[in-house]
Structure 1
Amino acid sequence: MTSAYVMKESNARLGIMLMVATTFVFAMQDGISRHLAGEYNVLMVVMIRYWFFAAFVTAVAARKAGGVRAAAATRQPWLQSFRAVLLVAEICVAIWGFTILGLVESHAVFACYPLLIAALSGPVLGESVGWRRWTAIGVGFLGIVIILEPGFGVFQPAAIIPLVSALMFALYGLLTRYAARKDSAATSFFWTGTVGMVAMTAVGAWYWEPMTGGDWMWMGLLCLTGAGGHFLLIKTYEVAEASVVQPFAYFQLVFASVMGVILFDEVIRANVAVGASIIVAAGLFTFWRERQAR
């Protein structure tokens, strides 16, 4: 066994562990967001979170070659700005969904975003999507139907919120790929944090509410988990290929569901468990097919 192969296997294991740690930190972030957004306006919570996020991305950019000026340099400012605004809007929609549906059902539906990326990669990026992946996409949406139960009782329109969030996040992911054709990851990361902060401040400042001392502690932890999660994600992609670690991102669904049950007394209904399992299975298949195609 060659040393290069051993190193590659070691990096894959490290990358997987980092991805699992990343999903746990992001699940903590979602749980804290659910708590704070239940007490205060969602827009204010996201605005404060983005202040810290912008400071974080600026600090990261300053430490790299060329500093902030190099990170900010782009030939596609409108695309980068749209990406940033789209992501901050998606975060607001997702947290709003947490307060209405809870973590379990929101994450169960949101887990379909890789399928949406696969479905939209053709019209947005011009990539080829074969019949196997289209079949997996169809099966995944069957899982969503099972979760939403449109034919049983009174259908709750609020159940569409995490689906809209997933669609927005999928489009953000595709636009990030598109932006990567001309800009570095550091540039996209910088624009995501800074433009998102400016946009969120312009909206969230109108909804300021005084916070208690205890909730300021939770807000501080929210900011730390946001920055920590992104730091872990950066390290994950530094040591391992995305195709190896991406399937393990589904652990966020597991961690968030556990937090929803233990901390917020949510219940995992049978149809949600079945539907989420179908969505995850379909998503894992699309990851596998993409890796095979490459």
Structure 2
Amino acid sequence: MNPTRAIALKLTSVVLFTIMASLIKATADVVPTGEAVFFRSFFAMPVIVGWLWMRGDLSTGLKAKSWGGHSWRGLLGVSAMGCNFAALGLLPLPEVTAIGFAAPMLTVFAAAVLLGERLRLFRTACVLLGLVGVMVVLWPRLSLDSLEGAALFGVMLVLASAALRALVQVQIRRMIQVEETSAIVFYFSLTATLFSLLTLPFGWVWPAPWALAMLVASGLIGGVAQIFLTSAYRFAGASVVAPFDYASILFAIVFGWVFFAEVPTPMVILGSSIVVAAGGLIIWRERQLGLRRGQARSNMTPHG
């Protein structure tokens, strides 16, 4: 266990994912979404393969026990990615990030329905609080005088991405019982690349040199970010690492302001704060329950 290293890895991955999203946003007006997904997925593969080789996990990462599970995870994941990338071209970066915080909240409900996980009262209240925060961010977009077609469509895309990401998390929880983490990481990039090719007949373009460089960089950076994210959980538990997911809103605000002249509205800041508080409460509660379970086990007699 090395919490300091884990936190450093997590924060680095958050920064890299925000850079990746900024690159995708910068090319959104000139490159179709499906093509952007292809570059993000395809150019992440060499990075991931190199990482697996350095860890000595290449043979493990290439072994799949459930092709159907990998295909379903890939379809859900690439759909979520596509919705999110399309939304980046329609909404400010901080707003996309803030609305996307609905994903971990929805995961709690999805796990309860699809995996039979127990939905405790405290957790349910925190999830509802988090969804209130998301609604605060959404409210200006839903008011009668702000029903702009493109912006409203962008909101729908982010919410669809959040719902799909929740299903992805449920699928990964199922797969982790039979599949190695390295295989899940590798085959997602592979299946996402293949699924994105299905959009080829719908108007791919040959990018300008600057756009091509950004798209290739998005894939390489996305691959490195995935490695940092995965590695963070090797040095500390989820209760230590997970809270730093919410640092993404800070970086999104900075990047949106500096590179896209997007100034976050007070509603985005307020709603994000509510969501971060709700997520922090869930993580704190789960950590407390984990400590109690550990203490109970240590107090048991040899006969249980």
The verdict on a shared fold, with TM-score over 0.5 as the criterion, is yes
Which residue of structure 2 aligns with residue 3 of structure 1?
Answer: none
The answer to whether residue 78 in structure 2 is matched with residue 82 in structure 1 is no
Closer, same or farther in 2 for the Cα pair 1:123/1:270, shift >3 Å?
A: same
- Measure how far apart 1:241 and its partner are: 1.5
Aligned partners of 1:44 and 1:205 also within 8 Å: no
In the comparison of the two structures, how many residue pairs are matched? 284
Matched residue type, 1:120: A
Equivalent pairs: percent with the same residue? 23
Q: Which moved more, 1:55-64 or 1:194-203?
A: 55-64
CA–CA separation in structure 2 for the residues paired with 1:66 and 1:108: 35
2:14 to 7, 23, 48: 23
Structure 2: which 5+ runs fail to align? 291-304
Q: How does 1:61-80 map to 2 (within 5 A)?
A: 61-63=52-54, 65=56, 67-68=58-59, 70-80=60-70
Closer, same or farther in 2 for the Cα pair 1:204/1:60, shift >3 Å?
A: farther
CA–CA separation in structure 2 for the residues paired with 1:215 and 1:155: 31
CA–CA separation in structure 1 for the residues paired with 2:228 and 2:9: 6
Q: How does 1:28-39 map to 2 (within 5 A)?
A: 28-39=19-30
Aligned partners of 2:101 and 2:134 also within 8 Å: no
- Residues 106-141 of structure 1: CA distance to partner in whole angstroms, max 9, x if unpaired? 111111221111222211222112101111111111
Aligned partners of 1:52 and 1:223 also within 8 Å: yes
Which residue of structure 2 aligns with residue 171 of structure 1?
Answer: 167
Q: How does 1:104-143 map to 2 (within 5 A)?
A: 104-143=94-133
Q: Which moved more, 1:27-36 or 1:269-278?
A: 269-278
Aligned partners of 1:54 and 1:197 also within 8 Å: no
- Residues 218-263 of structure 1: CA distance to partner in whole angstroms, max 9, x if unpaired? 2232122111111211221222222211101111121012111111
CA–CA separation in structure 2 for the residues paired with 1:77 and 1:44: 25
CA–CA separation in structure 1 for the residues paired with 2:256 and 2:276: 19
Which residue of structure 1 aligns with residue 230 of structure 2?
Answer: 234
Matched residue type, 2:145: G
CA–CA separation in structure 2 for the residues paired with 1:290 and 1:152: 40
CA–CA separation in structure 1 for the residues paired with 2:130 and 2:144: 20
CA–CA separation in structure 2 for the residues paired with 1:200 and 1:92: 9
Q: Which moved more, 1:216-225 or 1:77-86?
A: 216-225
Q: Which moved more, 1:74-83 or 1:205-214?
A: 205-214
- Measure how far apart 1:152 and its partner are: 5.1
Which residue of structure 2 aligns with residue 48 of structure 1?
Answer: 39
TM-score by length of 2: 0.87
Closer, same or farther in 2 for the Cα pair 1:204/1:251, shift >3 Å?
A: farther
2:89 partner SS: helix
- Measure how far apart 1:214 and its partner are: 2.0
CA–CA separation in structure 2 for the residues paired with 1:64 and 1:101: 39
Closer, same or farther in 2 for the Cα pair 1:248/1:268, shift >3 Å?
A: same
Aligned partners of 2:51 and 2:227 also within 8 Å: no
1:145 to 131, 135, 153: 135
1:270 to 266, 270, 285: 266
- Measure how far apart 1:293 and its partner are: 2.9
Structure 1: which 5+ runs fail to align? 1-7
Aligned partners of 1:33 and 1:222 also within 8 Å: yes
CA–CA separation in structure 1 for the residues paired with 2:17 and 2:44: 14
CA–CA separation in structure 2 for the residues paired with 1:93 and 1:106: 11
Which residue of structure 2 aligns with residue 161 of structure 1?
Answer: 157
Aligned partners of 2:133 and 2:270 also within 8 Å: yes
- Measure how far apart 1:198 and its partner are: 1.2
Aligned partners of 1:86 and 1:172 also within 8 Å: yes
- Residues 202-225 of structure 1: CA distance to partner in whole angstroms, max 9, x if unpaired? 323653212222222222321221
